[in-house]
Amino acid sequence: MKEALDELILCLRRRIEPYVSYDEVQQWPPGQLEQLMQMRVVVPTMPAKEYTCRECHGKECGGISLTVQRNTQTGQDVGMFLCREESGAGLKQVSLDHLRRWEIIPDKKKPEPVVHKVESVAVADVPEQKLSPADEKAYQSYCIAEQSLGKCTDKEAYEWLEEHGDPDYELPSFDTWHKYVRNGRKYHNTNKNTRRAGRKTSAPSVKDDPALLSQISNRHSKYPVESEKAD
Ligand SMILES: [Zn+2]
């Protein structure tokens, strides 16, 4: 579930046009829009000024400019557009509801990560909760950082949190935080290595990443050198 959501968020953020249309939102599972709004991935924005006509099937009738006018019969504001289809051409209207749009917020602009929703779900699902609030908070903060950073080390996540984390969450020292996060992972059964194994979109393993591999082998070869230096 969470991974599907991550996937969706990634796809949204890769878009050139940072908007989600009303029609698209209708395809999402129930609650999805609300969740993404709460996570500040999308925010409601100005209604669309262009419309793709739905009334002339298979015809080229997209990107039509709209004007908003009051329908004198219903007294409601509607979007008016000129359908280009030859036989049915003419002024048509669309409800303003259908013109709603949501802007996709890039990571850096994300004003505040929302932690409590995820937290309460975890608590509700597992009544015999053994994880301490500190563990849980640290773990959730890691998840938020990971959502923004994609593949990242715990250290990178921690550094990201230092800059972008929820100001209400008082970040402990790295070692303490790291311990909490590991507890959280153990509890949520999302051990970094096992969870990510074999998934295309997840962090590559060490053996897939020559840079990382050489970094590690450098680190190993460094130890004997250092002990020699001590002489
Ligand atoms: Zn049309």
Q: What total of structural domains would you count in the chain? A: 3
Q: Give me ligand 1 centre to Cα 76, in Å.
A: 22
Question: Which stretches of the chain are DSSP H helices?
Answer: 2-13, 22-27, 32-38, 116-125, 133-149, 154-164, 174-188, 192-196, 210-229
Distance between the two ends of the chain, CA-based, in angstroms? 55
- Identify the domain containing residue 23 by its residue range: 1-46
How does pLDDT run across 18-48, given as a tens digit for each residue?
Answer: 999 998 999 999 999 999 999 999 999 988 8
Whether residues 132 and 85 fall in one domain: no
Residue 227 falls within a domain, yes or no? no
Residue after which a domain boundary falls, among 34, 66, 99: 99
Compute how many other C-beta atoms are within 10 angstroms of the C-beta atom of residue 63: 10
Whether residues 120 and 189 fall in one domain: yes
How many angstroms separate the CA atoms of 42 and 13, rounded?
A: 10
Q: Give me ligand 1 centre to Cα 66, in Å.
A: 12
Residue 26 falls within a domain, yes or no? yes
Averaged pLDDT, groups of 10, the chain, 231 residues long = 85 90 91 94 90 74 85 87 74 89 80 55 52 89 89 92 88 93 84 48 52 54 47 52
Residue 21 falls within a domain, yes or no? yes
Residue 93 falls within a domain, yes or no? yes
Residues with CB under 5 A from ligand 1 (ion): 53, 56, 61, 83, 85
Whether residues 191 and 161 fall in one domain: yes
- The residues, any chain, with a CB within 8 Å of residue 79's CB and separated by 6 or more, are 47, 51, 66, 67, 68, 93, 94, 95, 96, 98, 99
Q: Give me ligand 1 centre to Cα 52, in Å.
A: 8
Q: What pairs with residue 89 in β-bridges?
A: none
Q: Give me ligand 1 centre to Cα 59, in Å.
A: 7
* Residue indicated by tokens 């509700």: 124
Among residues 17, 39, 37, 7, the alpha carbon closest in space to that of 25 is found at 37
Q: Give me ligand 1 centre to Cα 65, in Å.
A: 12
- Write the ipTM: 0.95
